[in-house]
Amino acid sequence: MNTTLDPIENLVQSDYKYGFVTEVETDSVPPGLNEDTIRLISAKKHEPDFMLEWRLRAYRHWLTMTEPKWANVHYNPIDYQSIVYYSAPKRNANGPKSLEEVDPKLLETYERLGIPLHERAKLAGVAVDAVFDSVSVATTFKEKLGEMGVLFCSFSDAVLNHPDLVKKYLGSVVPYTDNFFATLNSAVFSDGSFCYIPKGVRCPMELSTYFRINAANTGQFERTLIIAEEGAYVSYLEGCTAPMRDENQLHAAVVELLALDRAQIKYSTVQNWYPGDAEGRGGIYNFVTKRGLCKGRHSKISWTQVETGSAITWKYPSCVLLGDNSVGEFYSVAVTNNRQQADTGTKMIHIGKNTSSTIVSKGISAGHGQNSYRGMVKVQKSAAQARNFSQCDSLLLGDKCGAHTFPYLEVKNPTARVEHEATTSKIGEDQIFYCNQRGLATQDAVNMIVNGYCKEVFKQLPMEFAVEAQKLLGVSLDGSVG
Amino acid sequence: MNPLLEITNLSAAVDGKPILKGLNLTVCAGEVHAIMGPNGSGKSTLAAVLAGRPGYEVAGGEVLFDGANLIDMKPEDRARQGLFLAFQYPVEIPGVNSTYFLKAALNEVRKARGLPELDAMEFLDLVRARMDVLHLDQSLLNRPVNEGFSGGEKKRNEIFQMAVLEPRLAILDETDSGLDIDALKIVAEGVNKLHRSDNAQVVITHYQRLLNYIIPDYVHVLHDGRIVRSGGKELAYELEERGYDWVTDHVKSERPELAAA
Ligand SMILES: Nc1ncnc2c1ncn2[C@@H]1O[C@H](COP(=O)(O)OP(=O)(O)OP(=O)(O)O)[C@@H](O)[C@H]1O
Ligand SMILES: [Mg+2]
């Protein structure tokens, strides 16, 4: 009889609808990591010497580092020698020149993921770079953007075609020595997106990269670099999915953003890597370093993230507010259901005068999920009149999950104003019953409450994606209450 | 007339503790029933069991709602079929806008009745009309459901929701408690205006006061999980004068089979 069921206790596994595998022939390197692996990756990509040198420096530095253990997440040790560091769908020697040459199986894969790449069905107003395992398979609207001087291409293309820009900016925000995972990425990164918005240009469409891990036992190490010159504006979105597999897979990405005078970069992520099953088998380890440098005066960088996937998420998109009057923003929704763990947050480093930052973090835990917010606000001595506002909210569904908050604050300038607010709330059975009694099904009630809770963050997303994010949240929490 | 609600020998437990112990009650369309009874006698439990609140186990008996077995239905289906509970303690739902909430609720109910969903404009027209009846401040609707509402506002909001959802059977659990005398009149007036020949109301209250404004066709006294006495509205006056002991003592002397439990 349904009246005796406790709706919050009654957990069932939700379906991950992106869990399929595409059968393609791949060109992979054997598992394991040493200097030869790196030379091989670099050679496969026909990279110039400076790139290989940089990778090797990173690798040698990585050998001296140890994996960080401070995050509030738990997992078995990762065997870095069992990972395949490069896997690409086989293609003709020079890569596809146009979409017609792209393997139809790959196009179909993206179609199934809701990211049509071919001309007829391309997403209106959104240019897409599609990254499949270690390589970019297609980038749409390249020419159209090119007319305005906007460069949007795979990272590999950028290394070959715009080596000066890459040389100048690669590692300028996240140096190869930065941290264990970023350093590993610097050594072995395979592909990713490169965007360059020239002076005074407002990028006419959303730029987006869709990351897909397909091959088994493969790590994905992508690298994204976005440069907005003086007065430029760009809105960029990344999405991610992976097949359902019983083994964990490592995803260690690096994203670098650079905003010059009055430039604005809006970076949105909808992260839906495979989270593992209800018992915690499989899923992606999402260990990511994302940082933006507001180098110019009045520049602005906004991070918006909706993190619903991955077995473990370890990520702190940060802003270094160097230019006077620069602005950093971080809006985050992080969901952990079943056995998922997330340790995520941001760092706002105030260096310039009159710099301001806003942090809005919404954690949602269901099932046995563990959700930690870790945020640092650092006001350096030079940052007169710096301002920060932080709001960290946690929402619990059921009583087996957890929410934790670790705010760090370091203020060295007495004129700074820093505010922090935190709340923890719970979706109660009585709230759900109240909704039921008005005719709403339990899942709709949960979605309504959760969406209301996340409203502030969703409204930061580009329209098309806000709707997607809402749906995704519904799917992620599907079955989290009976 | 066919009964809208027919409860036969209902017994129910909470956390393994028997609360309802063989309750009988029949409500027909067009009727108003008042249920009175001392604290802890099981009034809210009855309302919760009828609405399908989790944790309330039905141990025996039968409940028919318009001829269908109510106990087998999910709480939301009961609501969609036209059963409405005005809660004794309405819960706050932060972040969920009242208008949005009520529109979603109404459209679920309409769907179940085979009616087309209302769009935002049609819904707002309906809402305005119903708000006037209850003299409810429209700004409440722009706020999250019940969040920060005063006790009286919460109660009025329940009746407002009832006015919008137009249930066939409304159970009002102590809607009068916590209301000042003016609010009480307004709520009663609202309830009376919503009363039609094809719907029914079950009003749970402690005070005869409310029954000056909502005239019941029947008054029942609930005691220790059973209805021990039923009568017309005079029963309420008599209770007010003589207290519950009068009925409960009576039970023991007149109907020992009920008293022995
Ligand atoms: N979870 C529970 N565990 C044990 N007993 C419970 C539980 N919930 C309710 N009860 C008991 O059930 C009995 C009936 O409670 P109920 O709320 O139905 O009474 P009521 O008639 O509505 O009283 P009031 O007039 O005070 O509102 C009370 O004795 C109460 O303590
Ligand atoms: Mg009660």
Series of mean pLDDT values for 10-residue runs along chain B (261 residues): 89 94 95 92 95 94 94 95 95 90 95 91 88 78 89 89 94 88 85 89 88 91 92 85 75 52 39
Q: Is B205 in the pocket of ligand 1 (CB under 6 A)?
A: no
Confirm or reject contact between A431 and chain B (CB < 8 A).
Answer: yes
A420 vs B11: CA distance, rounded Å: 52
Supply A327's token pair: 């602005």
A367: number of CA atoms within 13 Å, CB side?
A: 23
Angle between helices B181-194 and B151-165 (to 10 degrees): 10
Whether residues A440 and B108 touch (CB distance < 8 A) is answered with yes
Distance of alpha carbon A328 from alpha carbon A300, whole angstroms: 6
Residue B221 and residue B239 in contact, taking contact as beta carbons nearer than 8 Å: yes
CB atoms within 10 A of CB B196: 11
Ligand 1 centre to CA of A392 (Å) is 37
Judged by DSSP in three states, A348 sits in strand
B15 in ligand 1 pocket by Cβ < 6 Å?
yes
Q: Is the CB of B64 under 6 A from ligand 1?
A: no
Q: Whose CA is nearest to atom 19 of ligand 1?
A: B40
**Cβ(B19) to ligand 1 under 6 A?**
yes
A360 Cβ contact list (under 8 Å, min separation 6) = A330, A331, A332, A390, A391, A456, A457
Separation of CA B130 and ligand 2 centre (Å): 27
CA-nearest residue to B74 within chain A is A2
* pLDDT at residue A15, as a whole number: 64
- Cα Rg of chain A, angstroms: 22
Identify the pLDDT of residue A280. 72
- Nearest Cα neighbor of A335 from A451, A162, A226, A180 is A451
State the alpha helices, DSSP H only, in A91-250.
Answer: 104-112, 142-146, 155-161, 163-169, 180-188
Q: In terms of Cα–Cα distance, which of A280, A274, A382 is closest to A338?
A: A280
Name the residue facing A449 among B52, B55, B96 (closest C-beta): B96
Tokens for B57? 């186990």
Residue given tokens 């003589």 in the structure block: B242
Spell out a b/e string for B75-101, using b for 16 or more CB atoms within 10 Å of the CB, else e. Answer: bbbbbbbbbbbbbbebbbbbbbbbbbb
Strands B56-65 and B68-69 come out as antiparallel
ipTM rounded to 2 decimals? 0.93
- Burial code of A82-100, b = ≥16 C-beta within 10 A, e = fewer? ebbbbbbbebeeeeeeeee
Radius of gyration of chain B (CA): 18
Q: What is the pLDDT of residue A8?
A: 32
Residue A89: its pLDDT value, please?
Answer: 65
Q: Which two tokens stand for residue B19?
A: 């609360």
Backbone angles phi, psi at A323, to 5 degrees: -70, 145
- In 10 A of CB A24, how many CB atoms? 17
In this prediction, residue A3 carries a pLDDT of: 32
Question: How many other CB atoms are found less than 10 A from the CB of residue B248?
Answer: 18
Looking at residue A479, its pLDDT comes to 57
Instruction: Look at ligand 1, atom 16, and give the residue with the nearest C-alpha.
Output: B42
Give me A255's structure tokens.
């994203």
**Which residue of chain B comes nearest to A439, CA vs CA?**
B76
pLDDT value, residue B169: 96
Q: Are A152 and A45 in contact (CB under 8 A)?
A: no
Please give the pLDDT value at position A343. Answer: 84
Q: What is the pLDDT of residue B114?
A: 94
- At residue B196, φ and ψ (nearest 5 deg) are -135, 175
Dist. CA A160–CA A120, nearest whole Å: 29
Per the document, the length of chain B is 261
- Given this model, what pLDDT does residue A263 score? 97
Question: Which of B10, B85, B91 should one mutate to test binding to chain A, selecting the residue with the greatest count of A CBs within 10 A?
Answer: B91
Check if the beta carbon of residue A438 is closer than 8 Å to that of residue A15: no
pLDDT in tens, chain A (482 residues): 333 333 333 332 346 666 666 666 667 778 888 999 999 989 988 999 999 999 999 999 999 999 888 888 888 888 888 888 887 766 654 555 566 666 666 667 667 666 666 655 555 556 677 766 656 666 667 778 888 899 988 898 899 999 999 999 999 999 999 999 999 999 999 888 899 999 999 988 888 887 766 666 677 788 999 999 999 999 988 876 666 666 777 888 999 999 999 999 999 888 777 777 777 777 778 889 999 999 999 999 999 988 888 788 888 999 999 999 999 999 998 888 878 888 888 999 999 999 999 999 998 888 888 888 889 999 999 999 999 999 999 888 877 888 888 889 999 999 999 999 988 888 888 999 999 999 999 988 988 888 888 888 888 877 766 777 777 666 666 655 54
The nearest CA of chain A is from the CA of B107 a distance in Å of 9
| pLDDT of the residue at A136 | 64
Contacts of A457 in chain B (CB under 8 A): none
Would you call B246 helix, strand, or coil by DSSP? helix
Predicted local distance difference test score (pLDDT) of residue A427: 84
Q: Which residue of B has its CA nearest to A441?
A: B76
Model confidence, pTM: 0.78
